[in-house]
A and B are shown apart, each in its own frame.
Chain A
Amino acid sequence: MELTSDQLSVLAGGRGPYLARALRWIVEWGDVMGAKRLVRCTNTHALMPVANTLARGASAATLAQQAEELREACQHPTAPGCLCTVHTLFLTMDPLDVPQNDPVQIEVQRGIAELATRSGFLPTFTCAPYLTGNVPLKGEVCAWTESSAVVYANSILGARTTRHGTESAMAASLLGLVPEFGVLLDENRKGTLRVEVTAALTCPSDWGALGYVAGAAAGLGIPVFHGTPRPSQDDAKQLCAALATGGGVTMCHIAGVTPEAPTLADAFHGDVPSEALQFTPETLRQAYLSLRNHTGDEIDTVILGCPHASIQEIAEIAALLRGRHVADGVALWVNTARPTRALAESMGIAQQIAAAGGRVLCDTCPTNMRIPARRLVTHGFKQAHYSRGMIGAEVIVARTAACVRAALAGKWCGDE
């Protein structure tokens, strides 16, 4: 990779050992990923995780070392070097007693969140930064963590970010630089898999089903959807989250909808493959069944807002709950970002959810907090996929209305 004299000076330690190490990481990373240079990056979304591992037997040294790395980054004189929103935490900043979280871990994570805020990182604590004001423009070079948000930024907004880990996103936020490889370059934004959609997509979870199937088929490639209706923001959110769960997708195109795909031919840079994956009504049905491993109908948990709920979703959930109450023994979680909850509170709909026995959770999600569940219902394919292993729950993925019906009844009542 060709470096400027300024960049060589940073590598040599001219701006201190921390930046030298951060730059060495992203130069080495860029070199193996095919970058020829570093380019300016103006927008980052970084993970500052203190994962809930202590309570599960991890050593205190592991926590200390991870926390020290994050403190060093947050306290660096150049932090944040460019706009940086902060990803979800592994706890909520609200008072909430969760016995599964170790108190030391909680204290360390809170401390880092507060330190980051004082240093100028934006405390959005969300997996959907595009719903809380971080909306990069078409062509803007970003460094985002959160696989679902990366797909959203590239595909729906036309911004440009490779999939970042916390290490590279923090480096990018301090240096304002990223290696130019992958989808940062025009030629790597060309579709690789054609998906013909004949199933009717009627709600966000249906789009999640499409993403889950297409992501697994696309692997690290770029799926192109043809034949779909125009998605809503919530539809697009579910699609992007599921694409990055089923596979390792960085972006997709929706022919006739997304900014770089006015037509199917544009999405493939003129080279449309004749073969296509067919997403039929039967594929849609099977996608839901693939994330239902329940052995009975009694449920104890319903999780909505994966990725974090938009204000429209919260309004829909509140309307479905109005005048009713969640069944005894069922925890109903509605995960969202703090600014979105503030809006929901100003509208009175957060209170309606609370009055119905639900809980609007900010900054995190129950799975990140490792709140146990025996059998859970969720509208998020990402949530369903990961919670099976992460908290050992049986899962049922379903449309929002069916999830709320299950919460009210205390048992899975079917799709209709």
Chain B
Amino acid sequence: MPEITVIRGRRIAGGAAEGEALVADAMLSFWGEVDPVKGTVIAVGHPLEGCALRGKVLVIRSTKGSSATPMVLGLCKLENNAPAAFVNVEADCLAALGCIVHGVPMVADLDQDPFALIRTGDFIRVNADEGTVEITRRG
């Protein structure tokens, strides 16, 4: 049996989802730093530059930057390019709004450091209603 680690956080937007982790100890603006049509991070020099978001559990410090972040998350959703869930250290009000309105589960205010425990490619189950993030190590 693979080892499973569980970290706990606070429900920001309800629901449950699972997918591969995409991890960066960084902030990200959706407008201007994510292309909702290509579904990739386009921020030059960002640790996630070039990465596809579709179906991923996005483990970052928080969103930042543009107030069009919720709108771009909505466009990602309509284009089937949205992350499956957000696992963020801090609950930025723009990620919170975008996830609530556009139906993406989100957990923040975690009880452990996600960057020490989660690596890109790990399999993650997020149950935002329960506030749990279940990590199965891959590779």
Contact = CB atoms under 8 A, between A and B. Distances in A.
Given A56-B37, A57-B37, A147-B66, A32 B79 contact: no
Contact of B75 (A47, A53, A147, A164): A53
A25 B74 CA distance: 14
A297 interface: no
Contacts of B100: 25, 28-29, 32
Interface stretch (A228-236, A244-252, A406-414): A244-252
A104 interface: no
A205 interface: no
Contact of B93 (A29, A58, A247): A29
Contacts of B94: 163, 165, 248
Contact of A163 (B10, B13, B44, B67): B67
Interface in B53-112: 61-72, 74-75, 78-79, 90-94, 96-98, 100-101
Contact of B78 (A65, A146, A147): A65
B79 A58 contact: yes
A62 B79 contact: yes
What is the interface of chain B mostly: helix, strand, loop, or mixed?
Answer: mixed
B71 A390 contact: no
Given A58-B37, A245-B65, A389-B33, A166 B91 contact: no
B98 A165 contact: yes
B71 A219 contact: no
A91 to B, nearest CB: 15
Contacts of B64: 219-220, 244, 247-248
Contacts of A123: none
B27 A247 contact: yes
B46 to A, nearest CB: 8
A51 B64 CA distance: 20
A165 B101 CA distance: 10
A47 B79 contact: no
B44 A32 contact: no
B12 interface: yes
Given A32-B91, A58-B75, A219 B36 contact: no
Nearest to B32: A386
B7 interface: no
B93 A47 contact: no
A145 B93 contact: no
B101 A167 contact: yes
Given A33-B96, A59-B79, A182-B93, A165 B68 contact: yes
Q: Which 10 A-B pairs have the closest CB atoms?
A: A165-B70, A389-B42, A248-B64, A386-B32, A388-B44, A62-B78, A145-B67, A167-B101, A58-B37, A56-B37
Interface of B: 10-13, 27, 29, 32-33, 35-38, 42-44, 61-72, 74-75, 78-79, 90-94, 96-98, 100-101
18 contacts: A32-B96, A51-B36, A53-B75, A56-B35, A144-B67, A150-B67, A163-B67, A163-B94, A165-B69, A166-B70, A167-B101, A219-B64, A220-B90, A244-B65, A245-B29, A247-B65, A293-B44, A390-B42
Given A32-B10, A59-B79, A182-B93, 18 more contacts: A28-B100, A29-B100, A32-B96, A32-B100, A51-B71, A53-B37, A56-B38, A59-B78, A150-B67, A162-B93, A163-B93, A167-B74, A244-B66, A247-B27, A388-B44, A389-B35, A389-B43, A390-B32
